[in-house]
């Protein structure tokens, strides 16, 4: 008999998991998104009006940066398994700021490409490092912490984007430089706050028995773990909801429906509003490995419904098209919310304790690959017409079923969101960054 999701007591429902460090890292995430929102809204215009690049050069610059950035997640995860995650994160934050600041020093195309590519590496790595910190600091409440973090990040992004929109009304080269510098300052503030976070306990081994999954063959190396690689491969396709919402909806509304063009930005507003409203309440449905696996079934059904609604929006008058687009937007947003919960829990639960960073780094490749693949797939769907959306929705639903089967055996043997075990080095060899904090015991679990 399946246990129903447990409701948190009213006091804990509003508490931030991870204590003071969890709250501090949550502030870091908000500052990160505010700064990113400020710069992202102005980046393309900066390269046009300040660096004086052509459209073709800007496309090549962003494309090459994206390719180089793919190496960021596995590199960051690997380093986090060898060094304190907080220190690696600080280095990544400072490197992001330095690479961005370097853009102000030149308008040479080759140098701008180099600086952008160098900034893409720590930028992509930071998301994995933040995720790893949350998994270690929040322990058994990691899913809820990720939901709170994602909600706060959406608010931060909206604040940053609004600030960029206000600054860009000036339209001068100085305003673009100010937005760039504001993002650089945000990285410096983030580094200071991260340095104040204590290093969370890192699990060093997998305990065999009834309460932990037995380590799999090749589990210390994600590149030899076929199950984890298969899981990550399916994640690339399931992350397409991001490109569908950001690229597909605007193109589809303009080229294939009678809905007003102004609906396109409203879809993104609706998406952000629903994430802020529903991400934390729905997190209780993904707090165990088995529950995260079960979520894949409704995710597939919702994606299929969203594809059908988008196809229907190509017929009928403006009111019908608008209603169909909004239904599709709600469906894809709900799928995005549920998938973020499922993906977060499964990516951590399927990773062996002694190589969490390396495994999460490999999982981070899924989002990086989607950023390159997604716009191409979505653009092709828009070109093919209404029939493409139900087909795409069906492939997404089938991918959910495939992933459900891939993680099946692990989901049956793994306990949910287990707290990390403390790292216990040999006496006299304890690295300073991994020493237990005051009041913590660094003991191995006792055998009854």
Mean pLDDT over the full length of the chain: 82
Lowest mean per-residue pLDDT among 70-79, 110-119, 346-355, 404-413 = 404-413
Give the residue from 71, 392, 68, 62 showing the smallest Cα distance to 240: 392
CB 445 within 8 A of CB 206: no
d(CA 63, CA 341): 29
Question: What does the pLDDT read at residue 193?
Answer: 94
pLDDT band, residue 60 (cuts 50/70/90): confident
Segment 217-226 shows an average pLDDT of 75
Lowest mean per-residue pLDDT among 58-62, 227-231, 392-396 = 58-62
pLDDT, tens only, 355-364: 888 898 899 8
pLDDT band, residue 448 (cuts 50/70/90): very low
pLDDT, tens only, 106-128: 999 999 999 999 999 999 899 88
Kindly tell me if the per-residue pLDDT of 280 is higher than 60.
yes
pLDDT band, residue 215 (cuts 50/70/90): very low
Segment 413-422 shows an average pLDDT of 42
Kindly tell me if the per-residue pLDDT of 294 is higher than 70.
yes
List phi, psi (to 5°) of 445.
Answer: -60, 140
């Amino acid at each position: 008999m399946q246990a129903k999701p447990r409701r948190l007591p009213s006091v804990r429902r509003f508490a931030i998991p991870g204590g003071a460090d969890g709250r501090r890292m949550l502030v870091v995430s908000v500052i990160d998104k505010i700064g990113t929102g400020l710069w992202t809204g102005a980046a393309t215009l900066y390269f046009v009006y300040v660096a004086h690049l052509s459209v073709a050069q800007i496309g090549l610059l962003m494309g090459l940066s994206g390719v180089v950035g793919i190496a960021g997640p596995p590199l960051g995860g690997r380093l986090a398994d060898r060094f304190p995650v907080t220190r690696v994160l600080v280095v990544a934050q400072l490197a992001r700021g330095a690479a961005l600041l370097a853009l102000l020093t030149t308008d040479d195309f080759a140098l701008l490409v180099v600086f952008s590519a160098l900034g893409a590496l720590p930028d992509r790595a930071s998301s994995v490092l933040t995720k790893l910190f949350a998994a270690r600091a929040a322990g058994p409440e990691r899913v809820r912490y990720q939901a709170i973090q994602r909600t706060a990040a959406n608010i931060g992004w909206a604040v940053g984007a609004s600030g960029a929109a206000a600054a860009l009304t000036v339209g001068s080269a100085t305003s673009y430089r100010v937005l760039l510098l504001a993002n650089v300052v945000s990285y410096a503030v983030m580094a200071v706050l991260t340095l104040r976070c204590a290093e969370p306990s890192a699990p060093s081994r997998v305990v065999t028995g009834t309460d932990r999954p037995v380590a799999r063959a090749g589990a210390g190396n994600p590149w030899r773990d076929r199950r984890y690689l298969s899981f990550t491969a399916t994640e690339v396709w399931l992350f397409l909801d991001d490109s569908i919402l950001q690229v597909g909806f605007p193109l589809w509304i303009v080229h294939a429906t009678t809905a007003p063009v102004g609906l396109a930005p409203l879809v993104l507003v609706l998406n952000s509003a629903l994430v802020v409203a529903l991400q934390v309440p729905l997190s209780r449905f993904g707090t165990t490995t088995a529950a995260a696996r079960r979520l894949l079934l409704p995710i597939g059904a919702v994606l299929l419904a969203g594809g059908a609604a988008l196809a229907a929006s190509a017929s009928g008058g403006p009111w019908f098209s608008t209603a169909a687009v909004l239904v599709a937007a709600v469906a894809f947003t709900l799928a995005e919310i549920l998938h973020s919960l499922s993906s977060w829990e499964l990516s951590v639960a399927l990773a062996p304790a002694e190589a969490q960073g390396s495994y999460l780094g490999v999982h981070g490749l899924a989002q990086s690959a989607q950023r390159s693949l997604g716009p191409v797939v979505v653009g092709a769907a828009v070109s093919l017409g209404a029939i493409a959306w139900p087909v795409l929705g069906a492939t997404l639903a089938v991918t959910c079923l495939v992933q459900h089967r891939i993680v099946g055996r692990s989901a049956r043997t793994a306990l949910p969101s287990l707290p990390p075990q403390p790292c216990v080095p040999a006496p006299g060899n304890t690295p300073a960054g991994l020493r237990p904090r005051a009041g913590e015991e660094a003991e191995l679990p006792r055998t009854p």
